[in-house]
Amino acid sequence: MEINVLKPTEQNEAEILIVGLSRHPENAEGWETVEERFDGRLAGWIKDGLSFDPQSLSIYPTLKGDIPRVMFVGIGDRKKMTEDDLRRSFGIAGKQLIKEKIHYAAIHVASFKNGEVNSGQVAHLAAEGIQMGAYRFADYKTGSNEVDHRLESLGFLTDEPSDAVRQAAFVGTVHAEAVNEARTLVNMPANILTPTAMAEYAQELGEAYGFETDILGRSEIEELGMGALLAVNQGSVEEPRLIVMKYKATDSFESPLALVGKGITFDTGGYSLKPKDGIVGMKGDMGGAAAVLGAMRVIGELKPAKDVVAIIASTDNMVSGNAFKPDDVITSMSGKTIEILNTDAEGRLVLADAVTYAKQLGASQVVDVATLTGGVIVALGKDKTGVLTNDDAFYGSLQDVSKKTGEFIWQLPLTENDKKRLRKSDVADLNNSPGRDGHMIFGGGFVGEFVGDTPWIHLDIAGTSHADAAHDLGPQGGTGAMVRTLALFVEKLGDDL
Ligand code: BES
Ligand code: ZN
Ligand code: ZN
């Protein structure tokens, strides 16, 4: 995305100007530079009812000046407008820009400001929201007449110093591009995005940003004794992959944060087979991996001061004569044995070995992110990410960050009684499915058994990683949930050092 910062009165090539329209718009800073484009007629139209309702859009041809059209974006009561509202408004605008086949859109920055939201924030939210809204998945249809239209440039019209606005717009662009990449990974079918293909993607990402990348194949995974990951992979013709990527902010790399992602490229449920309706969409069971890869892209671009190791355990979960079965007892990398009660509770198994590996690499903090349970959807709906943690202070920092990114997260308890039920088995140290109640807690809690005392946050994105319908910030399909929150969290941890 090309980013330009210009004065509101400067000649410019944009095809459309995006303007925030509030109640009493004349109070907006620099409003006269909007009015001029309508040769004095705008006030009358506004009086006649041009909508300033939040999230409304109206497009008008201009009467004067270089930019042929203006898109008014309703922001309602300026004082009440939040960053979240603004991001969503820009998302809606981004969708419209694609429909209008716009290549270059300009944003009238001051018309979106209020006491809380300054020009830098407007630029960040505009770049982020517009590009998230404008996302479309390049599908596999043949003979489509659709031209390959792309929004190519954004112009920010402001009287304020350009460097800060440009930098903010750049950061917003980086966030949106990473989210959109994660969405694409989630949307890709499992016959194309195999564990091997995901590892190749990670390898390329690592090369682009200078991460130290290790891709472990079956024999290395066997050598490490990752019996839990191998059990899930047992029924598959696809080789498993453990993706390890190190971002070194310091030379010592002594106590990195581990970002651990569930990378199940397809989840049939295994012998605890999913019903036919529940199986469709399970190409998205690598949403956690996508979130980690997206966050690493942001980290590669913005270079925070925090060491990070990304670990993704990837396989599909299939049925075959070789597949693991209920009643099997397996040995994880940690040495802990696990009684399999449900082969569909496979995510916690691969995460167990990934977390053990993270600890072996010296991780001092662990965040795992996974499409782990249908239970989180039952508990919180599809718009909230479920959280478990063993460290409230550590989690407090993530909460702060999620308020900035607008990604809603909500903590559930993990009690001693829950842990007791995870450890209840006649034949092994743990069982992988203590019961149908409290699903989300048992899923994440199982992973917690391998984390020990290391500060840990578990994010269950089974609901949030996929949208059933188009929404303000994007289309139906992969959402790129937690990409921005994880990336900003790493940045904050770096700033706090
Ligand atoms: N991948 C699923 C969770 C899921 C459900 C993701 C719906 C996205 C949408 C996970 O592996 C799973 O099957 N979990 C089971 C666990 C149960 C068998 C203990 C579940 O939630 O039903
Ligand atoms: Zn499953
Ligand atoms: Zn799964």
The runs of H, that is alpha helices, within 29-118 are 32-35, 42-47, 83-99
Give the whole-number percent of the chain exceeding pLDDT 90.
94
Would you say residue 261 has pLDDT above 90?
A: yes
* Radius of gyration of the chain from its Cα atoms, rounded to whole angstroms: 24
Residue 308 C-alpha to ligand 3 middle, in angstroms?
25
Quick one: which of 362, 374, 348 has its CA closest to 447? Answer: 348
**Cβ atoms of 285 and 304 closer than 8 Å:** no
- Alpha-carbon gap, residue 178 to 290, rounded angstroms: 10
Nearest-atom index, ligand 1, CA of 317: 11
Please report the pLDDT score of residue 55 as a whole number. Answer: 84
**Cβ atoms of 162 and 118 closer than 8 Å:** no
pLDDT band at 149 (very low <50, low <70, confident <90, very high): confident
Q: What is the pLDDT of residues 425-437, one digit of tens each?
A: 999 999 999 998 9
Nearest-atom index, ligand 1, CA of 465: 8
Location of structure tokens 């694409």: 184
pTM of the model: 0.97
Residue 373 C-alpha to ligand 1 middle, in angstroms?
4
Ligand at shortest distance from the CA of 287: 1
- Alpha-carbon gap, residue 481 to 462, rounded angstroms: 10
Quick one: which of 251, 170, 243, 257 has its CA closest to 204? Answer: 243
Q: Give me the half-sphere count of Cα atoms (radius 13 Å) on the Cβ side of residue 423.
A: 10
Kindly state the average pLDDT of the residues 69-77. Answer: 96
Residue 279 C-alpha to ligand 1 middle, in angstroms?
10
238: left (phi over 0), alpha (psi -120 to 50) or beta: beta
Q: Which two tokens stand for residue 250?
A: 């310091």
**Cβ atoms of 460 and 370 closer than 8 Å:** yes
Q: Give me the half-sphere count of Cα atoms (radius 13 Å) on the Cβ side of residue 43.
A: 8
Residue partners of 462: CB distance under 8 A and separation at least 6:
287, 370, 371, 372, 373, 374, 375, 376, 377
Task: Find the residues whose C-beta lies inside 6 A of ligand 1.
Answer: 267, 269, 285, 342, 344-347, 371-375, 433, 439, 462
- Name the residue with the closest Cα to ligand 1, atom 7: 374
pLDDT band at 130 (very low <50, low <70, confident <90, very high): very high
pLDDT band at 145 (very low <50, low <70, confident <90, very high): low
- Name the residue with the closest Cα to ligand 1, atom 5: 374
**Cβ atoms of 50 and 72 closer than 8 Å:** yes
Kindly state the average pLDDT of the residues 321-339. Answer: 98
Q: What is the pLDDT of residues 172-211, one digit of tens each?
A: 999 999 999 999 999 999 999 999 999 999 999 999 999 9
To test the ligand 1 pocket, which listed residue (373, 377, 380) has its Cβ within 8 A of the most ligand atoms? 373
Nearest-atom index, ligand 1, CA of 274: 13
Question: What is the SS3 assignment for 321?
Answer: coil
Q: Which two tokens stand for residue 35?
A: 């009015």
Residue 298 C-alpha to ligand 2 middle, in angstroms?
29
Residues belonging to the active site: 274, 348
Q: Which two tokens stand for residue 69?
A: 């059209």
Q: Which two tokens stand for residue 329?
A: 């007892």
